[in-house]
Structure 1
Amino acid sequence: MTRLSFLDLVPVVEGGSVAQALARAADLAAHAERVGFSRYWVAEHHGMTGIASAATAVVIAHVAAATRTIRVGAGGIMLPNHAPLVIAEQFGTLDALYPGRVDLGLGRAPGSDQRVARALRRLLDTDPNAFPQDVMELQSYFAGEAAGGIVATPGAGAKPELWILGSSLYGAQVAAALGLPYAFASHFAPDALDQALDVYRSHFRPSAVLDKPYAMAGFNVFAADTDAEAELLASSQQQSFVALRTGNPRQLPPPVPGYRASLGPQGAAILDHVLSCSAIGSPDTVARGIDAFVRRTGVDEVMVTSAIYDQEARKRSLTLTMEAVRAPVAA
């Protein structure tokens, strides 16, 4: 059976609050643990009214406290926003609190626009090509071998599972060179998926933490008892995505019947392309979609993601998704 994990952007729904979004994240993580998901990740995004996971390490601690066995972590931390020492201290703390359960996915995108990036970092003169060096500096803090005699406390001796994230070939190259597991953001940036996986696998160098490539890819899943119900649930995320792409980010709206058709052929085609790595429908539809995705990509793990307005429908979607991958795939 393909391993399934879940990426949560901790959406703030229209009419809701950040407090509610964080409570729902803990509830959803506990549910994901019960039904058998391998890991539960949250992502670093800033300056967005519809996403409550900006203080990513704090949210991870909140989620970890509500669960017992599922791996929890960041998918990911945008390393250019932070000094590696700070991340070593944060995730060293998490590892001390929840040993053997913490993942640290690292990306080089800002997770924000330039205005917010400037507010985060004050200066934008950092070199994005320094990302590999920042990753290695972070590794040195965890190993207790940082230059200059600096000891990360907490941090030294911590063993969070490091991942490299990407939506282009760059991250694949970094993950391969450092011998780390690789996660591709195909749930919203599918174009380079196949090529990135090929680059990662063909250039992989075994390391002390990984002797062969291990790849994961993002995949949107909206599962319900019927295809029609799932299409309705998916319309909330579709509305949010269109709003984001048109420069009007918003909180997660309620579902709208017939939303995609209301966009016209051009708008629907944009959604179909950007969200092409998706399965929307009944358990049989979802099972076939995930199976086809795994057969095409050969990924070792699928990172499921979805933003659904109603909390119980979201939990039901996770339950049906896990049941779908455990059942034999219908021809």
Structure 2
Amino acid sequence: MNSKDIYILGIESSCDDTAAAVIHNGTVLSNVVATQEIHQEYGGVVPELASRAHQQNIVPVVHQALHKANIDKKQLSAIAFTRGPGLMGSLLVGTSFAKSLAFGLDIPLIDVNHMQAHILAHFIKAEGQTAPNFPFLAMTISGGHTQIVKVTDYFEMEVIGQTLDDAVGEAFDKSAKILGLPYPGGPLIDKYAQEGNPKAFKFPKPKVGPLDFSFSGLKTSVLYFVEKETNQNPSFVQENMKDICASLQHTIVSYLMDKLKNAVKQTGITEVAIGGGVSANSGIRKALQQAQTNKGWKTHIPKFEYCTDNAAMIAMVGELKFKNQLYAKTDVTAQARMELGKS
């Protein structure tokens, strides 16, 4: 089969977004995401509700992806799906659907590691986006993960630093909850931070190994800070929201950059990419752009639609694996926990 004939359908259902995309030779033809609004009233993702919503959304989302791509399902070369990591109930919906569709169409099934997909999203052909050269460093920052990865090849990745407790996205969301902001709070902290003074308040940076992260102590310090200040002035948070958010975001972003600088120094690799939901944060994007100017790094920041969970990145990995005939077996199962490495 000529590479120009390769059409991959990607399916992503690791958390609370049901997504499907069609990719053709590195170019995205469609990228459909159905976001589950129901979790907002609970202040976080409820796994049981997430899996039910996936069951309702997956057929229309896949149908819409094929329709927008203007292709028939019989033209598909393979089905790629998120095997893990993620919420087990959510993953099972996507895995079962992908297996059934691949079996029905008699085409290969390709399993994808969600975190690998965030990194390889940089290889999607998109205007203003250039693919990194190997080897490069990738920092994956999301609601569930915070890692620094040495990427030697498409399928050879080594985690050289990671969080010892909570992920950075969780730190943003839980801090936002302490401040009385609705879920998901991370984007709201970013919004307020852009109008505040980043030096107004000082929050501690957790002390762990040079490439590892810790965020549990930071959340605790935010909690104690808010309790102390509101005891003296009940309106403190409302009156200082922009400065609190700016100071908190400044602390988190500089902490992430400290670790990235250590990784560059340790490995000698100056080509750096970010991925995952938190890579949509304006503070980290700005800090990376400054590092490119001031430190001579070559930085890669994904387009906004490829930061948060999406199926285009799953389809991209699917295309790369398809070209290498790295297919899944028919008895493949979803995995809530998956290591990032050789695949």
TM-score surpassing 0.5? no
Bigger Rg, structure 1 or 2: 2
The structure, 1 or 2, with the larger RCO (C-alpha pairs under 8 Å, 6+ apart) is: 2
